[in-house]
Structure 1
Amino acid sequence: MVVMMAEDRDAAQALVQEIVRRIVRDTSKMAVSFTPELDVRPDLLGNFVGGDSYWSPQGVPVTSASGDPLYPLMQIRCTEPTIPGYPTRGLLQFFIGTDILYGCDLSADYESEADNDNRCVRYIPEAPSVLNGAEVVQLPHIGADSSDPDLRTPFQSDFHGCALRPALIEDPVSHECDEFEPAYESVLEEFDPAVIEAAEDTLGDLEQAVMDQLNVVSPGACFQMGGHPVFTQSDVREDYDDELVLLKMDSYDGVLMWGDSGCANFLIRREDLEQLDFSHVLYTWDCL
């Protein structure tokens, strides 16, 4: 009996591995991951997160309609590596407000986001090779635990910016996206129902075992452009084909924290990205 139970468990685990392999096969999308290099100072013409200063043409800070400076969140240099459909030159800059929601309008959609002046995604097609002093704007560091309740960012109080190391990855869907369920069900249809039932009897919850294993094999990039978004509450997208990940920023120890271990997403419709129109980017974040 003990031998039979061990064989059943081995067979169930092998099925989990195969289901995960097929989900990865069916759902993986190209993405650029960005790994913080905590001991490397930001290159203001490269990839970086946070920092006390940022580059702006003629040294003009990015501001809201009220004139308050928006805070530099992250910058992507789009030259290398590149993924299909995304800019291949210039800089993408992300700025957020310093209110308690970090400039996010939780009720916004793609159309209304154009009216949200408390965040900004800016594309600079041509970047200089060298900066001069007039192109650098200095802003005071603001941390998540700022003593001023009107000035907040998700950055940790002792983090002052660092460089990011980019790399190409294949990003499979996670269970935190609505695409997971149809992908999972589609793969199950490829197996004999009796095999699925036997695995359920052995594991108790086959789907949970698949989700756990998918987390193990996923590249797990905290910061990335492209691929799949991550939602800690619920998927906010209307569909899966036209809404692309411009930037995903997960909470990262020692760097930034979105509420209670949350994640932020900057999502853009395919047609807007093709036109390099970043006025309707949907910025949202949620937490546990």
Structure 2
Amino acid sequence: MITYEIPEILKKHEPIIKKTFRYSNEIHFKREETKPWESKLGGCPYLKNIKDYPMDEAGEPMLFLAQINLADLEKLDELPERGLLQFYVANDDMFGLDSPVLVRYIEDYEENEEHLLKKNPYENEEYEGNLPFSHSGKMYFKTREMPMSSSLDLFRETFKNELSEAEYEKLSDDCYSSNSRVGGYPYFVQNDYLGFDDDDFLLLQLDIDDECGIMFGDAGNCVFSIPKDALRNRDFSQVVYDWQCC
């Protein structure tokens, strides 16, 4: 597990910093073939029938961004222990920014490839051209203990009046929460338009990655978050989505 060591300059503020700690599962990508039920970036989602593939408001097949097999994750008690989470956005040149998104939870799944689709039925040159990555791949996870992200409005509310200017700058630099992850805190390239706070859970962040060529716009990333009470009720219609770039 990756742990956060509080710098000496901030030791006297250890209690307030530790109070913000969350666990995340940091994602690393490899360009590998995946089985239908595995954690993956792009490719073919877990599907039994082509009719199950979701369409956007324009009647176009949605872009399949990622699938998380929840059994791969650790120390994220808010999530179900098993099942699959699939992430879809509208198929347009803005990666579905202004359109409804779909996060599909599949609680029970089978591991029999004979009964499942092996290739994304809508993957063609036009579809691939609208994806925010150049290669699909398999996801690998590593647990991380992380303090609050300095890109959040909540970070400023929590620390601005508690720390000196030098201390605040040091903690801000340490809490630059980029990289792809499930759980923990998001990183917003520009502003925290989602107003992410203590009652929210980070379902997925996809950030710049060389292995699979992830890039939202100009050096950007995307965030899917959900209120914790909606997550407890397995109400994924409450997911909010944003992507930002430089």
Which TM-score applies when normalising by structure 1?
A: 0.73
Written as runs of structure 1 = structure 2, the 5 A alignment for 1:104-253 is 104-105=97-98, 116-117=99-100, 119-132=101-114, 134-136=116-118, 137-141=120-124, 146=129, 152-156=130-134, 159=135, 161-185=136-160, 187-188=162-163, 196=164, 205-215=166-176, 222-238=179-195, 240-253=197-210
2:70 pairs with 78, 81, 86, which one?
Answer: 78
Are residues 59 and 174 of structure 1, via their aligned partners in 2, closer, same or farther at CA, if it must alter by over 3 Å? same
1:76, 1:145 → 2: CA distance? 20
Written as runs of structure 1 = structure 2, the 5 A alignment for 1:91-106 is 91-105=84-98
2:67, 2:105 → 1: CA distance? 10
1:28 pairs with 9, 21, 30, which one?
Answer: 21
State the SS of the aligned residue for 1:183.
helix
Are residues 71 and 20 of structure 1, via their aligned partners in 2, closer, same or farther at CA, if it must alter by over 3 Å? farther
Could you report, residue by residue, the CA deviation over 1:203-244 in whole angstroms, capped at 9, with x for unpaired residues? xx55333322444xx6x5x22111111111111234613222
Could you report, residue by residue, the CA deviation over 1:172-225 in whole angstroms, capped at 9, with x for unpaired residues? 11211112213323642xxxxxxx5xxx6xxxx55333322444xx6x5x2211
**Displacement of 1:145:** 9.0
Specify the alignment match of 2:3 in structure 1: none
State the SS of the aligned residue for 2:72.
coil
Unaligned runs of 5+ in 2: 1-6
CA RMSD between the two structures: 2.6
- C-alpha contact 1:79 1:90 (8 A) present in aligned 2: yes
2:88, 2:103 → 1: CA distance? 6
Specify the alignment match of 1:258 in structure 2: 216
Specify the alignment match of 1:6 in structure 2: none
- C-alpha contact 2:91 2:127 (8 A) present in aligned 1: no
State the SS of the aligned residue for 2:65.
strand
2:17, 2:103 → 1: CA distance? 31
**Displacement of 1:44:** 2.1
More helix by share: 1
Unaligned runs of 5+ in 1: 1-12, 106-115, 147-151, 189-195
Are residues 206 and 29 of structure 1, via their aligned partners in 2, closer, same or farther at CA, if it must alter by over 3 Å? closer
Amino acid at match of 2:188: F
- C-alpha contact 2:30 2:138 (8 A) present in aligned 1: yes
- C-alpha contact 1:249 1:264 (8 A) present in aligned 2: yes
- C-alpha contact 1:123 1:278 (8 A) present in aligned 2: yes
Amino acid at match of 1:132: E
Specify the alignment match of 2:59 in structure 1: 67
- C-alpha contact 1:26 1:183 (8 A) present in aligned 2: no
**Displacement of 1:96:** 1.6
1:21, 1:37 → 2: CA distance? 36
1:184, 1:243 → 2: CA distance? 19
Deviates more, 1:53-62 or 1:27-36: 53-62
1:241, 1:65 → 2: CA distance? 32
1:31, 1:175 → 2: CA distance? 16
Which TM-score applies when normalising by structure 2?
A: 0.84
1:19, 1:251 → 2: CA distance? 34
Percent identity for Structure 1 against Structure 2: 25
2:79, 2:105 → 1: CA distance? 12
Matched, 1:268 2:230: no
2:237, 2:143 → 1: CA distance? 27
Report how many aligned residue pairs link the two structures.
236
**Displacement of 1:21:** 5.4
**Displacement of 1:130:** 1.6
**Displacement of 1:62:** 1.6
Deviates more, 1:175-184 or 1:18-27: 18-27
